[in-house]
A and B are shown apart, each in its own frame.
Chain A
């Protein structure tokens, strides 16, 4: 049995669901009298392992905890030589400030940036899912010359860093008079997100046995009807999770947003960056509150799809 990096349906294996289901790697466990009455050595090993686990947990969680803690701490206590480890005097004033203040003079505030980001993200989501869905069906269900070539191109495009072409793309967007517009940014994002989406959706489509469609066709459906009635409903989870990938990527993207957007059209990431870099006057409580607000949707969505994310990333490969 070889370990195989394979298509989407089978990929939802690596995440917390499995951990929660107790899907431990099967391990030989000898249930002898010995194991029921643990030896001192065993207890020591167990304790060490648990301490290691605790350290891993604390190291992973601490920055996230610190962000929320600082966001809730009143600003006069944040700027203190002795940090407050618990938000005893929790306040939401930092969130109010983050919500209402401009990032820098002439630059947008949180609500505008949020609307811009949601507009771009929403647009990218719809267009990407539609285009990628069509392409993945073609790749997984049709057989034609150039199919393999297309897949290879998609894989290669994923690996080409968009950052390398940033100024060429900048020049192009400028030529098209799309500089500093959500449409321009959206087009750039769509091209970035689409290869991964095609690749992941392809896995989902291929994971639905074609036999099901053929059975429906024997029952009198046309090929198209069979697809829409049988295969498509089974693809819904795939569409949702690839949609969430696309969402997270567009939400987190920073480089092109920094390069293409200005002033009131800033999206959330460049907003956060300007918000923190206005050195002296920076209100750190508000910066932490802003970071928290930006992270919340990603964390929530991420928890839904992280199982598939691992598999999808191994076979699809992108990083926010």
Chain B
């Protein structure tokens, strides 16, 4: 992003000229006031995130179900049974592999095209650059559900513009009544198109901004030294992009692994849920009932995403120099 002067934190840099006891009193007051200001946020996060996380972990080791909830009885402790069941006697492993595969494909497309478009934007005239950014902004701003509904219509079996165009291009009627969503593979193609279409603008704009940080003199010097094209990009430009691209990559991985809206909406347009579920929709379709099982799935999801986001949290903390 922008190269900035990291804003100095107020408190630590202020030279303290007070005596030791006074200082500790000030410190204690700062701590009290600080926590007082934090408390509303802490309370809502503890109640709405911390507590359910704890409950979820506990329930994942029990056979808690709607029956217990209705009758008010305590569930039995079943150890790792839920986890064993989830991994051996359910579709979960398939869903997990599918989610990971989709995540890799989507992330690769989004980052590749995003960076490509950012580089393109740096080489365009002003008018063209504005045109491209307006297009990207519109794609980005669409609510995901509305976008999916529209794309679903574009790929509609009977009246979709895609089938019409393919018929026109091929000069046949092969695509009349061709259903894109019924076959899981073409379902994933449509899904990937939607997610990539909406994901590219973020990467493109971020990378474009980062490209603006490459000093002109460095580029000039490198071109005088005879570096051209890809070589110049790899050796001169890329180092400036690295930190931004790392964050962008981690975010894309996380976001693409937890997609829900697009998959769910496409499924309700004609996808076969059992063959197209990803982690989020699989969990959702488990339905209310076997809280033990759904909790185990939730725990696996959280652990997976926490492992993946650890890199992000660390990078952020390092860069922010808190």
Are A and B a genuine interacting pair, yes or no? yes
Most buried by A among B142, B248, B280: B142
B89 within 8 A of A: no
Q: Which residues of A contact B215 (CB under 8 A)?
A: 1, 26
Q: Which residues of B contact A88 (CB under 8 A)?
A: none
Q: Which residues of A contact B297 (CB under 8 A)?
A: 164
A261 within 8 A of B: no
Contact of A269 with B143 in the complex, beta carbons under 8 Å: yes
Contact of B139 with A60 in the complex, beta carbons under 8 Å: yes
Contact of A61 with B135 in the complex, beta carbons under 8 Å: yes
How distant is B106 from chain A, measured CB to nearest CB, in Å? 12
**A85 CA to B108 CA, complexed, in Å:** 32
Contact of A143 with B9 in the complex, beta carbons under 8 Å: yes
A222 within 8 A of B: no
Contact of A159 with B48 in the complex, beta carbons under 8 Å: no
**A143 CA to B247 CA, complexed, in Å:** 27
B130 within 8 A of A: yes
Q: Which residues of A contact B52 (CB under 8 A)?
A: 165, 168-169, 172
Q: Which residues of B contact A164 (CB under 8 A)?
A: 56, 283, 297-299, 301-302, 305
Partner of B214, one of A25, A151, A272: A25
* Cβ contacts A73-93/B at 8 Å (1 or 0 each): 000001111110000000000
* Cβ contacts A266-304/B at 8 Å (1 or 0 each): 000100110011000000100110011011001100110
Q: Which residues of B contact A219 (CB under 8 A)?
A: none
Q: Which residues of A contact B258 (CB under 8 A)?
A: 161, 163
Contacts A26-B215, A138-B38, A315-B320 hold; do A49 and B124 have CB atoms under 8 A apart?
yes
Contact of B143 with A276 in the complex, beta carbons under 8 Å: no
Contact of B48 with A56 in the complex, beta carbons under 8 Å: no
A155 within 8 A of B: yes
B7 within 8 A of A: yes
Contact of A295 with B146 in the complex, beta carbons under 8 Å: yes
Q: Which of B76-84, B90-98, B180-188, B264-272 contacts A (4 or more CB under 8 A)?
A: B264-272
Q: Which residues of A contact B47 (CB under 8 A)?
A: 191
How distant is A312 from chain B, measured CB to nearest CB, in Å? 10
- Residues 194 to 210 of chain B near chain A (Cβ within 8 Å): 197, 200-202, 205-206, 208-210
* Cβ contacts A1-33/B at 8 Å (1 or 0 each): 111111101110111101110111111100000
Contact of B322 with A151 in the complex, beta carbons under 8 Å: yes
Contact of A163 with B317 in the complex, beta carbons under 8 Å: no
A43 within 8 A of B: no
B49 within 8 A of A: yes
- Name A223's closest neighbour in chain B (CB-CB): B33
Partner of B48, one of A191, A198, A284: A191
B34 within 8 A of A: yes
Q: Which residues of A contact B301 (CB under 8 A)?
A: 161, 163-164
Contact of A141 with B306 in the complex, beta carbons under 8 Å: no
Contact of B2 with A4 in the complex, beta carbons under 8 Å: yes
- Name A198's closest neighbour in chain B (CB-CB): B41
- Name A15's closest neighbour in chain B (CB-CB): B205
B3 within 8 A of A: yes
**A237 CA to B275 CA, complexed, in Å:** 47
How distant is A262 from chain B, measured CB to nearest CB, in Å? 13
Partner of B4, one of A10, A157, A306: A10
Contact of A27 with B219 in the complex, beta carbons under 8 Å: yes
Q: Which residues of A contact B8 (CB under 8 A)?
A: 209-210
* Cβ contacts A181-193/B at 8 Å (1 or 0 each): 0000001101100
Q: Which residues of B contact A49 (CB under 8 A)?
A: 120, 123-124, 128
Contact of A63 with B139 in the complex, beta carbons under 8 Å: yes
**A255 CA to B284 CA, complexed, in Å:** 9
Q: Which residues of A contact B298 (CB under 8 A)?
A: 164-168
How distant is A123 from chain B, measured CB to nearest CB, in Å? 13
Q: Which residues of A contact B120 (CB under 8 A)?
A: 49, 52-53, 56
Q: Which residues of B contact A100 (CB under 8 A)?
A: none
Contact of A273 with B317 in the complex, beta carbons under 8 Å: no
Contact of B209 with A14 in the complex, beta carbons under 8 Å: yes
Contact of B159 with A191 in the complex, beta carbons under 8 Å: no
Partner of B138, one of A26, A61, A313: A61
Q: Which residues of B contact A13 (CB under 8 A)?
A: 1-2, 209, 212
Contacts A14-B205, A303-B137 hold; do A27 and B37 have CB atoms under 8 A apart?
no
**A302 CA to B133 CA, complexed, in Å:** 13
Q: Which residues of A contact B316 (CB under 8 A)?
A: 5, 155, 315
B10 within 8 A of A: yes
**A148 CA to B152 CA, complexed, in Å:** 45
Contact of B143 with A5 in the complex, beta carbons under 8 Å: no
- Residues 264 to 322 of chain B near chain A (Cβ within 8 Å): 264-265, 268-269, 279-280, 283-284, 286, 288, 291, 294-295, 297-299, 301-302, 305-306, 309, 312-313, 316-317, 319-320, 322
* Cβ contacts B108-141/A at 8 Å (1 or 0 each): 0000000001001111101011111111111111
How distant is B231 from chain A, measured CB to nearest CB, in Å? 16
In order of increasing CB-CB distance, the 6 nearest A-B pairs are: A210-B10, A191-B48, A143-B11, A26-B216, A60-B135, A14-B209
Sample of 5 further A-B pairs with CB below 8 A, known A159-B309, A160-B306, A213-B10: A9-B7, A63-B150, A157-B45, A160-B49, A165-B49
Q: Can you list 21 pairs linking A and B with CB atoms under 8 Å apart?
A: A3-B240, A3-B243, A4-B6, A4-B243, A18-B212, A26-B215, A49-B128, A57-B132, A137-B37, A139-B38, A143-B11, A150-B42, A151-B322, A155-B317, A160-B306, A168-B59, A191-B48, A255-B261, A288-B150, A295-B142, A317-B254
